Structures are given as C-alpha cells and as structure tokens.
Structure 1
Amino acid sequence: MDQRRYLQLIEQDYARMRETATRDLTATVPHCPGWSTADLLTHVGDTFLHKVETMRRGAWPEPWPPEPDPDGPAAYLDRAMAELRGELTSRKPEEKALTWYDPDQTVGFWARRMSLEAVVHRVDAELAAGEPVMPIPADLAVDGIDEILVTFLAFASRQWPEDFGDGLAGADGRAVSISVGTDRRLVRPAASGVEVSMDGSTAEASISGASQDVLLWLWGRGDGAGLTFDGDPELVKRLRDLLKEATQ
C-alpha cells in the first residue's frame, strides 16, 4: 500500500469516527475500559498530533499530551486530522522519521500506523454507538494483520519482554497458524520472544477467516464468532493474552 492510499483511508475512517462518536459523547466504548466516546476522540487527536510533532522535531515531544482543547474533543480531532493531513501530504514516505520500530525509521511507517490506528478506533466508535461495523477494506485489513503480528507482537516481545509479564515464560515455540485465504502466517511464542514467519511448517493450532474478522480478533475487538479455530485451544488463549499485552 502506498502513502496516498493510507491517507485516503485515514480520511474515511476519521470522518466516520467523528460522525458516529459525536452523536453521544458520553457513550461507553466497549473495548476501552473507562472511556467515553469523548475520551476516544481525544485519544485519537492526541495520537495524530503526537506523530505530527515527532516528524517535525525528529524527537519525541515533551511534555505530552497538550492541555485539553476548550472547543471540545471533536474540534481537537479536526485540528489533529488537519495537521496530520498536511504533514503526510508534504513528506515522502521514504523520508527519515523517528519511530519506535527500529527496522523502519520513515514517514511511511507513520502513514501506515495512523491508518491502522484510525480504523481500529473507528470500529470502537461504531461499537459504542451500537451500529454495525462498516467493512474494512481487505488491503488494509491484511496489512493490519501483518502490522500487529510483526511490529506489535514479534518486535515488541523481543525489544521489551518485561511488558509481557509472565506471558512468555511458559511459551515453548509451538506455532499458531493465522490464515486469510491463501495468506498464512505462523506465530511461535517462546520464552525469548515471538517469531512470525510465512513458511509452510505445521502448526499445533490454527485461526482462519475473513481479513476483517481476523484483524478485529487480533485487536480484541471481536469475539471470533466468524472465525474457525482448530487445534490446541491453550495455544490460542496464550496468543490472545500476549496480544492483549502488546496492544495496551
């Protein structure tokens, strides 16, 4: 996916999130304990602006976050979106930018990350409003599956294993297969961290389904009703627990 596509998707999900969340800013966000939809919009605004400032400064902005916007969370999100739009349209994806993911220190990392941030929280706004979840484009969903497994789980579990508590201690490298059509990834949690590969090895457990259903399950936004689970359920539970730690 290219940067124009990511920005197009950010625009769509920002608009849908704003429209849905502002109907009732006091509504509870089911998968974000303690949050209202006002908190959700503020969080996304904070996140967008944080990445804008990071790209501009070449350093993490401190102090953070800024003071609450007196015009409210919707206006704050609008300002953050305008700033993000300007930053991503004025920079090339290969341009150097500070990120927390060592293998990719580019603006393109943030275009991808903010697109996936926006779609997950757009879904949060829809769930808070009790509305059906609008389809997630397949290209974004497949890209999001790769991101959460490779970036949030595999890289983070080796870089910051302490963040995973005791979740890695009993892991023994047995694999869970995650499949969307012909796209298949093997996830092997071990005490030293998680490895993700696309080889054809046998897995002791498997999860398969449509790309949107898999992505939302990985992010803890779905109960897996549309997925097929097979093999050792304890391995699936361990994976889910590790993902919860990875995405906090």
Structure 2
Amino acid sequence: MTDYLAKIEAETTRLAALSGDLSVPVPTCPGWTIADLVTHVGRLHRWTAHVLGNQAQERIWSFQVPTGLPEGVPGDAAWLTAGAGEMLETLRATDPSTPVWSWGPEKRASWWPRRMFFELLIHRVDAELALGVDPEIPAETAIDGIEELLHNLPSARWVTKPLAELGLEGATIHLHASDADGEWTITQGPAGTFTWERGHAKGDVAVRGPVAELLLVLYGRRSPAAVTVHGDQDLLDRWLSAASL
C-alpha cells in the first residue's frame, strides 16, 4: 500500500524549499506568485484537517476555515510546514473508514491522503516550473496520479458541466505511456461524465509520451505539444480545457 503520508511529508519539504522568493510569478497558475501558491496549499491543508477533525458530512469551503494568518498576509515556508503537520496529525488520528464529506466518489476519510498528495505534488511542479526547474515525477507516481485524477474528475461538477457543453458524448481519448506500462482510454459519456479503462485501444485522439508528461498534460501544466498527438487535436484541446482541475 502506498504511504501517502510519507509522500506528503516529502513533497511539503520540497515545496517549502522552493518558497524562498515569494514574489516569483507562477505561469501555470495565471495571476499567482509563489506567495499565492504557498498560501493556497497551506489553506487546503488546514481545510483538510478541519473536515476530518470535525468529521464533516456537508461541504465546507476552504475559505471558511481560519488560516492563522493576518488579513492580507501570505503564507511562507514555515506556515506551510506547520499546516502540513496539522493535516498529517489529523490523518494519522482518523480511522480511514470514517464517513466524511469529500468532493470525490468516496465519502470517507481514506479518500483524503491520496488526493492531498497529488494536490501538493502538482503545486510543487508549479513552483519548479516558475523557477525554471525541470520537474521530476517517478513513473509509478505518475501512473497513480493519472488514475487518481481520472477516478475523481467524474464527481467534480465544475468539470462535468463544461464537458457536457462540448457535446462530445461517445468521443474517446487514448493515453499511452512511452516509458512505462501504462495505457488508458477515456470515453465521454452523457451529461459531461466519462468512464475510463486501462489497456490498449484506438481512440479518436491518441496521446503518447513519458508518463510524467501525460500527467502534467492532463493537469494543464504541459501543452499537448510536449507529447505526441495523433488524431483529433481539436477534441483533445477542448476536452483538456474543460476538464482542467
């Protein structure tokens, strides 16, 4: 079983180390600086701790949870690390089977560690790209990240609504990792939902490249130009734009 808590600790350390100059713009999060990025991540950590600590059964918005920061003051590396520590302590203390709200398909505490790990990993990548650092994501982590994202997105109303407006029911997108044992086919369904399955297949558009690059393309952190695309490029561009998390 993947130890997501240890991975969260490691990713927090990496992001904190990238947070020296909070004024650096973050191109993959338009309008943000590193300060905004750190504040966003630290807020999510405190939100997660609040949701789990209170065993919330209804949605609580992250902005409703106190951050401990004076109004208008962004977070920094120490504040980020403290929030991650609070979240990790709560995750360790919470029975994974505990019923609790989530925006994903599982409404229990076990949903949160994997989701928060990938939230943190992608924002670490944002910081690295802002600083001109080439991100490194192990292949097995990228595979897990692709499947975690595809598993959760059909439950996200802010994704299914724009997907429904595209009128792409029945369209297929095939992802093929060039450096790992990973292939997936996404099939667009009704009302903006979609299904996916592992394995080789022919899609209306096929996307092939290193698995870490495929993950970053799905998250909108890399352009499809970073990988090889065969077939309906317009379909891919429209789907990625609507499915952005």
Calculate the TM-score normalised by the size of structure 1.
Answer: 0.85
State whether structure 2 residue 222 is matched by structure 1 residue 219: no
**Counterparts of 2:96 and 2:190 in 1: how far apart (Å)?**
35
**Counterparts of 2:125 and 2:160 in 1: how far apart (Å)?**
29
Alignment of 1:18-33 (within 5 A): 18-21=16-19, 23-33=20-30
Partner of 1:184: 183
Partner of 2:15: 17
- Cα 1:238–1:189 shift into 2, 3 Å: farther
Partner of 1:77: 80
How far off its partner does 1:114 sit?
Answer: 0.5
Backbone CA RMSD of aligned residues: 2.3
How far off its partner does 1:11 sit?
Answer: 1.1
Alignment of 1:44-63 (within 5 A): 44-59=41-56, 60-61=59-60
- Cα 1:27–1:58 shift into 2, 3 Å: same
- Cα 1:77–1:46 shift into 2, 3 Å: same
SS at match of 1:18: helix
Partner of 1:238: 238
Partner of 1:206: 206
SS at match of 1:192: helix
Partner of 2:171: 174
State whether structure 2 residue 145 is matched by structure 1 residue 144: yes
Unaligned stretches of 5+ in structure 2? none
State whether structure 2 residue 226 is matched by structure 1 residue 229: no
How far off its partner does 1:161 sit?
Answer: 4.0
Q: In the TM superposition, what whole-angstrom CA distance separates every residue of 1:34-60 from its partner, at most 9, and x where no partner exists?
A: 111111111001001101100111224
**Kept after mapping to 1: 8 A contact 2:174/2:185:** yes
> Paired residue for 1:118, among 120, 128, 146?
120
Name the stretch that deviates more: 166-175 or 78-87: 166-175
How far off its partner does 1:113 sit?
Answer: 0.6
Amino acid at match of 2:85: A
**Kept after mapping to 2: 8 A contact 1:185/1:196:** no
Identical aligned pairs, as a percentage? 30
Name the stretch that deviates more: 174-183 or 59-68: 59-68
**Counterparts of 1:115 and 1:67 in 2: how far apart (Å)?**
20
SS at match of 1:43: helix
How far off its partner does 1:72 sit?
Answer: 5.3
**Kept after mapping to 1: 8 A contact 2:176/2:182:** yes
Unaligned stretches of 5+ in structure 1? none
SS at match of 1:229: strand
SS at match of 1:176: strand
Q: In the TM superposition, what whole-angstrom CA distance separates every residue of 1:223-245 from its partner, at most 9, and x where no partner exists?
A: 2444221111122112212222x
**Counterparts of 1:226 and 1:57 in 2: how far apart (Å)?**
43
SS at match of 1:172: coil
Name the stretch that deviates more: 178-187 or 137-146: 178-187
